Chains A and B, each alone.
Chain A
């Protein structure tokens, strides 16, 4: 299965600033997904990122707040813009993998605290 490197692993940011999270995969993948996990909650999908096209956002998430880039088949970034304390969460990227089990691999996440 694919191996995902996600950076940074954690950060503490001032409100009003922006943070860009990187997701690097060790193989080419078609689809990449960005999730948010608020404290004590389950994972919520933010958007799906395909290479060469605009990201598709889920209800409640907008591009101005969470711009996503997908410049090639192994890399994506998620930016959390104009942050507020409510953005404090774990952000995870995930990829769909080619294989016998049609599974998904997740990065270890970025733990963001906004103060």
Chain B
């Protein structure tokens, strides 16, 4: 799986958008970009994923550049509860037959996002 690079830490004011960048310059054509976060003392939580199109769900938006070498996770209105470590992971989705995902996740060091009042 391709390697990702993220800033070690970021700050954001409550109510503002948090934009978390991720570089994945060696990404392959069949590799997806996944974002997870880990709030203190909890297991990682899935946020969003995408292949090449921008994606949005109830938690966040994912913007992937046209060359797919970088992406940005956007939390549109950050709250104090969004303080967490955010992991950008690139991996092949595996055998998609039947919607089953295979393979493993390789975690980097992530970005510590601190949302302050």
Contacts and interface: CB of A to CB of B under 8 A. Distances in A.
Interface string A27-55: 00011010100000011110010000000
Interface in B30-54: 32, 34, 36, 41-46, 49
A88 B42 CA distance: 16
A48 B99 contact: no
B44 A103 contact: no
Contact of A101 (B43, B46, B103, B107): B46
Contacts of B42: 108-109
Interface residues of A, number: 28
Contact of B100 (A4, A30, A35): A30
A97 to B, nearest CB: 7
Contact of B46 (A98, A104, A109): A104
B99 A96 contact: no
A26 B105 CA distance: 21
Given A30-B102, A42-B108, A103 B43 contact: no
Interface string A65-88: 000000000000000000000000
A99 B109 contact: no
Interface of B: 32, 34, 36, 41-46, 49, 87, 93-94, 96, 98-110
B60 to A, nearest CB: 13
B34 A103 contact: yes
B47 to A, nearest CB: 9
Given A42-B87, A42-B107, A42-B110, A98 B49 contact: no
Given A45-B105, A103-B34, A104-B105, A96 B100 contact: yes
A104 to B, nearest CB: 6
B43 A107 contact: yes
A4 B43 CA distance: 10
> Which residue among B42, B87, B98, B105 has the maximum number of chain A CB atoms within 10 Å of its CB?
B105
A22 interface: no
B49 to A, nearest CB: 6
7 contacts: A42-B108, A96-B101, A98-B99, A101-B49, A103-B46, A103-B101, A108-B43
